Amino acid sequence: MNDEWYERRKRKLREMYWGKEKNPFLPSGFREYPQEIYDFFLSFIDHPGKVIDLGCGNGLLLRHLVENSRYELIPYGVDFIEESIEQAKREILPEFATNFTVANVRDYVKMMPDEYFDFIFFDPYHLHPNDLQEAVEHVIRACKPGGKVIFYTYRDVLRVLRVLNLFKLRWIGWVGDLLPDNIRKNLRRFDHSEVSVGVFEKEKGKSNNNLEF
Ligand SMILES: C[S@@+](CC[C@H](N)C(=O)[O-])C[C@H]1O[C@@H](n2cnc3c(N)ncnc32)[C@H](O)[C@@H]1O
């Protein structure tokens, strides 16, 4: 279901990232290296472990985390654009090539092992709204107790969504507004000028923080 929606988005993104313009940062959605934004993401990493970026582009964010964190991190990445994953494997993080997968995030999250990842970066905008609830449940399931799910959406995307949703009388102010109510209520909100973040901390000793799905 919704396959056509994902295909359309993938085609559009592939044209943007892998069209005529050659720029090493484009397959991650940037024209210049986003040092400040990536340092902001880095600030959420507070222990060693496995980190996955669901919609990783060519793996630039993951490499930034691995190279700049004071904790030892094992990176994993998923993207539905084959060229981007190929570049991540070949050029960006070749020593972790086997941890990169070409897949739709919607499908990949269903196969993630229970309580496996310490840090999960997840942008709800990557999913069709009808797939979001189930995907979020899987993401929380796959997060290790004591770990974090870092929900994020870039501000340029949020601005577009805000305008579109005004017609539906729905206010989109931050990433939490894209997520199910029970999740939003459990997020710590962080406002950066370029990206909106909501962090879900999975408590130790509880399988899903008593969230009712
Ligand atoms: C703007 S880039 C962000 C890359 C990286 N996470 C970062 O912040 O630098 C978003 C990436 O998500 C990927 N993406 C979007 N929807 C996806 C989906 N449903 N499944 C897999 N990848 C998806 C796009 O192909 C693109 O490479």
The answer to the question of residue 207 being in a domain is no
Does the pLDDT of residue 207 top 60, yes or no? no
How far is it, in rounded angstroms, from Cα 204 to Cα 51? 18
Closest CA to ligand 1's atom 3: 28
Compute the distance from residue 205 Cα to the ligand 1 centre, in Å: 32
Cα 123 to ligand 1 centroid, rounded to whole Å:
8
CATH number at residue 154: 3.40.50.150
pLDDT at 213 over 80: no
What is the strand order of the sheet 195-201 is part of? 100-102, 73-79, 49-54, 117-122, 143-154, 195-201, 188-191
How many angstroms is it from 195 CA to the middle of ligand 1?
Answer: 14
pLDDT at 144 over 70: yes
| Token pair in block for residue 205 | 């000793």
Assess if residue 143 is contained within a domain.
yes
Question: Of 170-174, 187-191, 196-200, which range is least confident?
Answer: 170-174
- CB of 28 closer than 6 A to ligand 1? yes
Domain encompassing residue 26: 3-201
Q: Is residue 206 a part of any domain in this protein? A: no
Q: Distance (Å, rounded) from C-alpha 32 to C-alpha 30? A: 6
Does the pLDDT of residue 17 top 70, yes or no? yes
Inside any domain, residue 213: no
Residue from 28, 54, 136, 196 to probe ligand 1 pocket by mutation (most atoms less than 8 Å from CB): 28
Q: In this predicted model, what pLDDT tens digit does every residue of 93-143 receive, in sequence order?
A: 999 999 999 999 999 999 999 999 999 999 999 999 999 999 999 999 999
Q: How far is the CA of 81 from the centre of ligand 1 (A)?
A: 8
Ligand 1 close to Cβ of residue 87 (< 6 A): no
Number of separate domains in the chain? 1
Is 66:3 a contact under the CB 8 Å cutoff? no
Q: Is 212 part of any domain?
A: no
Percent of all residues in the chain with a pLDDT value above 70, rounded to a whole number: 96
The values of phi and psi at residue 107, to 5°, are -85, -40
Is residue 188, in this structure, part of any structural domain at all?
yes
In a domain, 210, yes or no: no
pTM of the model: 0.95
Residue 44 covered by a domain: yes
